[in-house]
Amino acid sequence: MSSDSIFIRRTNSKRMGEDVMKAVHTVLQYLRGIGIKHVFGIPAGSVNAFFDELYDMPDITPVIAKHEGAAAYMAASYAKYSKQLSVCIGCSGPGATNLVTGAANAMREHLPVLFLTGAVPVNTVGLNASQELNAEPIFRPVTKYSITVTDAKDLLAEVVKATEIAVSGVPGPVHIAMPIDVQQGMAENADIPSLPARTPMIPDSQLIKTTAKEIAARESGYIFAGQGARDSIELVTELAELLDWPIVVTPQAKGLIPDNHPLLAGVFGFAGHESASALMNDGEGETLLIVGSSLGETATNNYNENLTKNRFTVQMDFDKSVFHRKYPIDLPVLGDIHVSLSALIQELKELGLSKKENRPIEKSSELPNIEEYNTKNVLSMLQHYLPLTTRYTVDIGEFMSYVIHHMNVFDSHTYDINVHFGAMGSGIGSAIGSKLAEPERPVVCITGDGCFFMHGMEILTAKEHRLPILFVVMNNARLGMVYHGHTLQYHRSHSAFEQQPVNIAALAEAMNIPSFRIESMEDVNQEAIERLTDLDGPALLEVSLVDNNIPPMGDRVKFLSSFSK
């Protein structure tokens, strides 16, 4: 995540007066003061005091999820698209552990989320109190900061400290455990501070000059853009047009640049495109400029050595830990991506470079055969009937590879694909967080039956908040990604990976949620889609389809197949 995407509202510090009040009330006063509008989570006894204070704060809306895991993904998505800190809360014990997966995801995606968990009273620690758990060390590996507050007078100060850590440097999640008695304890003469604006990370100016000279000295190259460039995409395209270099994006960066940009070569990595693979494997580009990618497994086609082979390699990021992990980097440029790109563009112009008439990259002109009832054709037809600005939050399943490989990009920032730490069902929570952060943007969640059985009841959360999200459930009555992966690797698949078909549209109907079930290509039509959009709440479109084609997973197929030898 690029650092310029974190915008925090400044407020003047306010004296609350001489009255004594609950410590948890001071925390909520602070959160309200820094612009928090939603709190995601689930109430329970150990956080009742927190939720009780919300009665008197109608400008903070509690978004009550059906599972803490989903709430954590909602909070992460909200932080990503609102470009500010978000808050997620769970009870002591199991509520806290249910949040850990979402915290790990926020850490991986550099998203500033404040995780609050309840805890048993301080004087009952070690006495086997109900739901007792020391959550602090559990959250420590997946957050930037984790602490248990044991004195009411310290609660506000620790929350302030944690939120400042969350938005500073490389943004990320933080965690505070709040014992019941600490929340209820009294705090005196509390100052409500403002949250300081994040200090930009400025790259070394001499390094930028060196980078510009090295790039200018080499006529050809490629820009390799990851999701960390998502808030600097105009600068990425400006640089590409200045250099006349193709742009290759990672799977998580799909949707940042519309397909009609003449220099976009496609997706490289998991489920990527042949056009992008050809450039990376066989292209003669002398330079590789990596912008906002940590060069993980899915972004590099299982750590493909050809990516940097015989190429002068520059990597721009604000997270120094990504440099030299797997690939040798000639020039690691540490700094906020938008600052680094702006400075590099300026230096290149001073060296005499000017925008050229860009040559379009050759792309596949294959026209889809939409007669066959398969995943590719269904998704293509659905997109045909949906607004061009629709954001697709994509869950984990075989359908994800079809989305990456086949679906079109008509507008910027239109895909939320989490192949880093997306749990099954994470796309459902992400859709809700995205819609709350950007209410005007149409949101469609593409999920599967396996994912739906994990977090599908969050459709009720969308209903309760009247969020017009279309949930598309690809129902093949099996764990599709597991089925295909296992078959490729072992040439057989366990019957337990499959199940008796369930009519998911009927489940939605039982919840008074508009739904429709697709069983053939003829069912995919404009009338059916229009009935499920432009509503004042969610709708569900079930696609009943068993697709035995091997998903377009690219080199992942070879990777899995190799283990069976």
Residue 341: Cβ within 10 Å count: 27
Percent pLDDT > 90 in the chain is 79
From residue 137, alpha-carbon distances to 90, 107, 156 in Å are 16, 15, 21
Q: What H or E segment, with its residue span, contains residue 429?
A: helix 426-437
Token digits for 72? 């954590």
Q: How confident is the model at residue 132 (pLDDT cuts 50, 70, 90)?
A: confident
Token digits for 410? 């008509």
Average pLDDT over residues 131-145: 96
With 60 as the cut, is the pLDDT of residue 427 above it?
A: yes
Give the pLDDT score at 552.
Answer: 81
Q: How confident is the model at residue 196 (pLDDT cuts 50, 70, 90)?
A: confident
Q: What H or E segment, with its residue span, contains residue 341?
A: helix 337-350
Question: Cα separation of 475 and 134, whole Å?
Answer: 40
Max distance between CA atoms of the chain, in angstroms, equals: 74
With 70 as the cut, is the pLDDT of residue 7 above it?
A: no
- Determine contact, residues 100/138, Cβ cutoff 8 Å: yes
The predicted-structure confidence for 531-559, as pLDDT tens digits, reads as follows 999 899 999 999 999 877 787 876 655 55
CATH class of the domain at 205-350: alpha beta
CA angle 47, 35, 19 (to 5 degrees): 60
Burial 511-545 (b: 16+ CB within 10 A, else e): eebbbbbbeeeebbeeebbeebbeeebbbbbbbbb
Give the pLDDT score at 494.
Answer: 64
With 70 as the cut, is the pLDDT of residue 480 above it?
A: no
Question: Cα separation of 224 and 249, whole Å?
Answer: 6
Structure-model confidence comparison of residues 432 and 490, the more confident one: 432
Q: Tell how far CA 379 is from the center of its chain.
A: 21
Question: Cα separation of 316 and 239, whole Å?
Answer: 13
CA angle 555, 252, 310 (to 5 degrees): 55
Residue 2: Cβ within 10 Å count: 26
Closest CA to 401 of 267, 518, 539, 497: 267
Q: Position of tokens 């932080």? A: 79
Reduced to 3 states, what is the DSSP secondary structure of residue 86?
strand
Question: Cα separation of 518 and 455, whole Å?
Answer: 21
Token digits for 167? 């938005």
The CATH number of 3-192, from 3.30.70.360, 3.40.50.970, 3.20.140.10, 3.40.50.300, is 3.40.50.970
DSSP codes, 185-206:
SEE-S-EEPPPPPPPP-PPPHH
The predicted-structure confidence for 68-108, as pLDDT tens digits, reads as follows 999 999 999 999 999 999 999 999 999 999 999 999 999 99
Token digits for 158? 């620790």
φ and ψ at 209, to 5 degrees? -65, -40
- Determine contact, residues 44/12, Cβ cutoff 8 Å: no
3-192 matches 205-350 in fold? yes
The CATH number of 375-562, from 3.40.50.1820, 3.30.70.100, 3.40.50.970, 3.20.20.140, is 3.40.50.970
Q: How confident is the model at residue 1 (pLDDT cuts 50, 70, 90)?
A: very low
Amino acid occupying residue 336: D
- Determine contact, residues 351/343, Cβ cutoff 8 Å: no
User: What does pTM read for this prediction?
Assistant: 0.92
Closest CA to 383 of 361, 363, 403, 412: 403
Give the pLDDT score at 496.
Answer: 66
Q: How confident is the model at residue 187 (pLDDT cuts 50, 70, 90)?
A: confident
Q: Tell how far CA 49 is from the center of its chain.
A: 31
Closest CA to 299 of 277, 278, 270, 337: 270
Counting every residue, how long is the chain? 565
Question: Cα separation of 51 and 45, whole Å?
Answer: 10
Give the pLDDT score at 12.
Answer: 38
Question: Cα separation of 73 and 99, whole Å?
Answer: 9
Domain extents for the chain?
A: 3-192, 205-350, 375-562
The predicted-structure confidence for 236-290, as pLDDT tens digits, reads as follows 999 999 999 999 999 999 999 999 999 999 999 999 999 999 999 999 999 999 9
Least confident span in 41-50, 111-120, 290-299, 484-493: 484-493
> Which residues does 532 contact at the CB level (< 8 Å), separation at least 6?
470, 514, 515, 516, 539, 540, 541
Give the pLDDT score at 442.
Answer: 97
From residue 200, alpha-carbon distances to 16, 107, 145, 228, 317 in Å are 31, 19, 20, 15, 13
The predicted-structure confidence for 360-400, as pLDDT tens digits, reads as follows 766 554 555 678 999 999 999 999 999 999 999 999 988 99
Give the pLDDT score at 500.
Answer: 83
Token digits for 546? 């068993």
Reduced to 3 states, what is the DSSP secondary structure of residue 391?
strand
Give the pLDDT score at 59.
Answer: 95
- Determine contact, residues 251/270, Cβ cutoff 8 Å: yes
Helix count and strand count (H, E) for the chain = 20, 22
Token digits for 545? 């389809």
With 70 as the cut, is the pLDDT of residue 491 above it?
A: no
Reduced to 3 states, what is the DSSP secondary structure of residue 157?
helix
Average pLDDT over residues 510-538: 95
